[in-house]
Structure 1
Amino acid sequence: MKELTCIVVGGGFAGIHAMKAIQKAHRAIGGEQKLNLILLDQQSHHVRKVLLFRPAVSSSNITVPWEQLLPVDSVFIQGSVEQVEPKDKILLYTDFEGNQHWLAYDVLVMAIGSVARRLEAEHGGITLTGVSTASQIYDLWQDNMRRAAEEKSKEERQRLLTAAVAGAGISGVETAAELAFAMRSEAGKYGIHPSEVNVHLINAQERLFLEGPSKVSQKLEQDLAECGVTVHHKRKALREEEGSLLLSDGDALPVGLTVWTLGLMPNPALRTMGLPLADNGRVIVDECYRVPDADGVYAIGDNAYIVERVSGKVSQMTCKEAIPQAQRLGKIVAADLIGGEAPKHKAVMDAFTIGLGPGRGLLWTHKWGLDIIITGKLAYKIKCFTWDLASMLKS
């Protein structure tokens, strides 16, 4: 019996959902070929990227073992792809020990996603890019708390109890809210009144949440204020030095901690793999996620440049886009194997959920010509459900 080898590169949200969808679709078509399903990822576990703020504010673990997520009979290989040769249907990867290997495939799914933008060290502060930097943030504000409890100078005490989050996208908003909650919750342990803790959110734009209408932005800012976060609009953070965060308008905020949350960029590793890329560094695909002139190669998620034919909308780099794409991809791969009609990409509905610390959230969607806004505990429960769904902890 001929075997079918399918390799999924990247075990983020798109990758793990693609593994499940491909196996399910292959079973549905009753394929005679045995499916060899392989996940190739740099990490020894799945990282819940949307929760990177968690280890920055607590000792939470945001990793999940592969064996808890991957389909039965699938194989995990720890390594990183260096090169793809579509004509020969092989790829070159480097394993975790630094050894290189060639691996043959019949179907290849590129889902290595995006990475957080980072600043050079001379800008100061800590860029929230992964679990290790999140842990550095946690250790620093905890140390600042201990120092503040013993500090005699009022000005220095206030500086140590002040944090700034530079970058006000959704990750910045969620990080600022969680940081304010965590620092205020910990304050009492050191004999510090919670009101002494200050968290600033630096927003270069005119308002928060440009993806939605201004009334949602206003509600979001009001909720952040209740969390203990002060928002600064139309001001850009430049660098932190000597205990101050310098801003584009010439002001300087005395801070004990600066966290940079600068958004996402397509994984730069794509640039050396030999696949066709758009100007923004994402892999070019058609409406069925097929990479042109690369038989059997597909791309989904943050690393894929997908345009919906009807609306002309380009897919966003969010898990809410990646998961439906992965589910659709399973049917596409199955259809291509049997020569059937493959489903085409469809843009997702405008809907966003934002966490604002434990028990608080905001949900906005535009449906039937109406702006629907849900706040508070219900919005937070919905947000937690989507976080868990993204990492396949909910079915």
Structure 2
Amino acid sequence: MKHIVIVGGGYAGINTLEHLKKQLGNRLGHDIRMTLIDKQPYHLRKVLLFRRISDKDFNLHIPLTSYTGEGISFVQGEVEEISEREQAIVVTRDGLKRENIPYDQLVLAMGSSSRHQEDQGGIPLESSKTADLIRSRIEEGIKAGKSIHIAVVGAGISGVETAAEMGCWLKDSGAVKVTLVNADRRLLSSAPKKVSAHMEEELTKVGVNVIHGVKVCQYDDQAKTLYYSDGTTETVDVCIWTTGLKSNVLSASREKGRIVVDESYHVKGMKNVYSIGDCALVTDAKTGRIDRMTCKEAVLQSGKLSRIMVKDMTGSGKRLVHKSIPVEFYCVSLGQNRALVWMKKGKYSMLIRNRLALFIRKSTWDSASLIKK
């Protein structure tokens, strides 16, 4: 029986699993089996971490066993290494037991983690645990009757959504100030200026102050001081870092901190091993464009990968290669009742707001985690 192993229960991993289910059909459990491996027992709805800060009961975790079924098993453990000679991976379970799991095809979809370093101070928004810690720090200040200054450092999509959520949640809480620190000259600089302006206008409506063109070097937790790259400082009670991601990689071939793959997601120098998502350096061979580290790219890569894997297994069908998304697409939450969608293809662009944008935003979140209505 052939064995497909998928490492990583994030967006890339669960969507690859789902696509392979459809591709393989009733072969699962008969001549093919699959195993999903992750160090956590759940899929984390990572793009919604900001919502956990404002709502302590918001569930970000979906049990990975809910994605399994006939011919599919889940193993909770941490992958230590790949043994190419034996065509197996070495997994540590419960922090002690080492186990060799053989594979016929292996998918590395380990995702990414926060780029934040501990000596930078503050709290990175990277897990339910850190989201809960941020909330408790804010609530402590509110209960003490103090004026609170919250700084969100990093104004990518995650930073904008976090700042907007904080603004909406705390708007009527008294003396609370929310600042979004943007190292760039404007928000979402790849979009037209009118999109950036609209985004900043919406943030202003919920009480968020945006500062541009400055970087944060460090936050002193004891002194509650934020140190800017221009030498200035500011008193901040809670510092939230949303400054980007670094890939989770094993000993596979890597470049720019990501696993190098060819145009069909094969890991270079390794047989029967594939990689997609945040951990992989996925390039469109025709345009030279490198896919970004977002769940949108991971989900689309997973569909193509599943077809490539089945073709490789059967040895039939035409050669399939990666193609970047032809449309630039941003979907941004701007608080609990506002959102913005901007898309561009060639010369044409479209900005969608209000209810339709909210619907698209929620549908995107749900479909990425395979939540069905």
**In the alignment, is residue 56 of structure 1 matched against residue 53 of structure 2?**
yes
In 2, Cα distance between equivalents of 1:12 and 1:391: 8
Which has the larger share of helix? 1
Structure 2 counterparts to residues 226-375 of structure 1, below 5 A: 226-241=205-220, 242-267=223-248, 270=249, 273-278=250-255, 280-340=256-316, 341-348=318-325, 349-375=327-353
Contact 2:29 2:71 in 1 (8 A): no
**In the alignment, is residue 36 of structure 1 matched against residue 33 of structure 2?**
yes
Deviation, structure 1 residue 23: 2.3
> Cα–Cα, structure 1 residues 178 and 293, in superposed 2: closer, same or farther, change >3 Å?
same
Structure 2 counterparts to residues 164-179 of structure 1, below 5 A: 164-179=151-166
Amino acid corresponding to residue 64 of structure 2 in structure 1? W
Contact 2:29 2:70 in 1 (8 A): no
TM-score, normalised to structure 1, is 0.89
Q: SS at the partner of 1:216?
A: helix
**In the alignment, is residue 380 of structure 1 matched against residue 358 of structure 2?**
yes
What's the RMSD between the two structures over aligned residues?
1.8
Gaps of 5+ in 1: 149-156
- Which residue of structure 2 aligns with residue 9 of structure 1? 7
**In the alignment, is residue 219 of structure 1 matched against residue 198 of structure 2?**
yes
In 1, Cα distance between equivalents of 2:329 and 2:355: 17
**In the alignment, is residue 87 of structure 1 matched against residue 95 of structure 2?**
no
Contact 1:42 1:96 in 2 (8 A): no
Deviations 1:251-301 (A, max 9, x none): 33322211111111111xx2xx331111x1211111111123322111111
TM-score, normalised to structure 2, is 0.94
Deviation, structure 1 residue 113: 0.9
> Cα–Cα, structure 1 residues 31 and 229, in superposed 2: closer, same or farther, change >3 Å?
closer
Deviation, structure 1 residue 324: 1.1
In 2, Cα distance between equivalents of 1:117 and 1:293: 27
Q: Aligned residues, how many?
A: 368
Contact 1:315 1:347 in 2 (8 A): yes
Alignment counterpart, residue 163 of structure 1, candidates 150, 167, 174: 150
Q: SS at the partner of 2:47?
A: helix
**If you compute each CA radius of gyration, which structure gives the higher value, 1 or 2?**
1
Alignment counterpart, residue 203 of structure 1, candidates 171, 182, 198: 182
Q: SS at the partner of 2:271?
A: coil
Deviation, structure 1 residue 179: 1.0
Alignment counterpart, residue 391 of structure 1, candidates 358, 369, 372: 369
In 2, Cα distance between equivalents of 1:174 and 1:369: 27
Contact 2:171 2:206 in 1 (8 A): no
> Cα–Cα, structure 1 residues 262 and 174, in superposed 2: closer, same or farther, change >3 Å?
same
Contact 1:5 1:35 in 2 (8 A): yes
Structure 2 counterparts to residues 69-80 of structure 1, below 5 A: 69-80=67-78
Amino acid corresponding to residue 256 of structure 1 in structure 2? D
Contact 1:19 1:71 in 2 (8 A): no
Deviations 1:217-268 (A, max 9, x none): 121111111121110001112333323323223333322211111111111x
Deviation, structure 1 residue 327: 1.1
Deviation, structure 1 residue 31: 8.7
Q: SS at the partner of 1:388?
A: helix
In 2, Cα distance between equivalents of 1:304 and 1:394: 28
Q: SS at the partner of 2:171?
A: helix
In 1, Cα distance between equivalents of 2:29 and 2:164: 52
Contact 1:204 1:235 in 2 (8 A): yes
